[in-house]
Amino acid sequence: MITVLGSINMDLVTVTRKDPSIGETVLGDQFSTIPGGKGANQAVAAAKLGADVQMIGRIGDDLFGQEYLNHFMKLGISTENVEPVTDEKTGIASITVYEGDNKIIVVPGANNFLTPEVVDDHKEDIIKSDWLLLQLEIPLESVEKSLEIAYKNGVKVILNPAPFHKIPKDWIKMATYLTPNQYEAAQLLDLYKKDEKLLNNLKEKLVITKGSAGVVIFEGNKEQSIPALKVEAVDTTGAGDTFNGALAVGLSEGKSLREACQFAARAAAISVTKLGAQLGMPNRTELDDQLDA
């Protein structure tokens, strides 16, 4: 079982051909309300590829929250641990898509109520998992608590350090893999550049996503590149999340790190060919067809 403990947002997506400057008004081309949030995106990516997925998260007691619960249920994701917070709003992300790339403002809302105490209440749900996926869109103390529970109980963890925060040294020891994008990776490596031992330990666990430039892993401290599939990007939102969800699926199926990265990089490439974080995520047949092509 793959458990995702993390954020659930409704994405308010505007597509525009002109990116407004401060104080300027422009007319956009399209507006959509699409399920998102780094945690939920990773859960959906894994579920679409056929994994048994459990989500631990918080929504508001509003329409977006209800919509999200139905969405998870349709995808076969266990929602037993997705609870509404009274008088709170479901997290939202205001996203502007401009020339295939995006700008995002997140208002966490109910995600802030996924506290360390709540994590502790879900201890048994974490312990029964094979893989735990974590990101940094919920309170950092809760990420730390989850890592501690997983580490003490032999649950493997993929820590996606996004959005970037200065993460404590201990987290590197407790995570099985860390999956920053190239910008987050540069900041992480810079943070620990003076501690050679820690830096080497970090490198062994690093899986760096570089968008259309593929993925970088370190084998015996030597940088190895895994190329990305060439696609026409419509919207890159959620590509990293698709990668993380698919990586967990690949690893839980016993693939080597390199094979799981190849599998996940293909899923991520397919995901950017449609608008919205989750709409382009491939199901297993779509991904397998791609692998055969």
Q: Any idea which residues carry the catalytic annotation?
A: 241
- Stretch binding ligand RIB (CB under 6 A), from 7-15, 20-28, 82-90, 140-148: 7-15
Among 241, 242, 261, 271, binds ligand RIB (CB under 6 A): 241
Using CB under 6 A, which of 51, 217, 268, 277 touches ligand RIB?
Answer: 277
* Segment interacting with ligand RIB, rule: CB under 6 A, options 60-68, 147-155, 214-222, 238-246: 238-246
Q: Which residue is nearest to ligand RIB (CB)?
A: 36
Question: Which residues on adjacent β-strands are paired with residue 176?
Answer: none
Give CA–CA dist 56/270, Å, rounded: 26
What is the x/- site pattern for ligand RIB, positions 47-86, by CB under 6 A? ----------------------------------------
Q: Does the protein bind ligand RIB through residue 41 (CB under 6 A)? A: yes
Does the protein bind ligand RIB through residue 90 (CB under 6 A)? no
Q: Should residue 160 be labelled a site residue for ligand RIB when binding is judged by CB under 6 A?
A: no
Which residue, 180 or 192, has its beta carbon nearer to ligand RIB?
180
Q: What residues line the site for ligand RIB (CB under 6 A)?
A: 7, 9, 11, 36-38, 41, 93, 104, 106, 137, 237-238, 240-241, 277
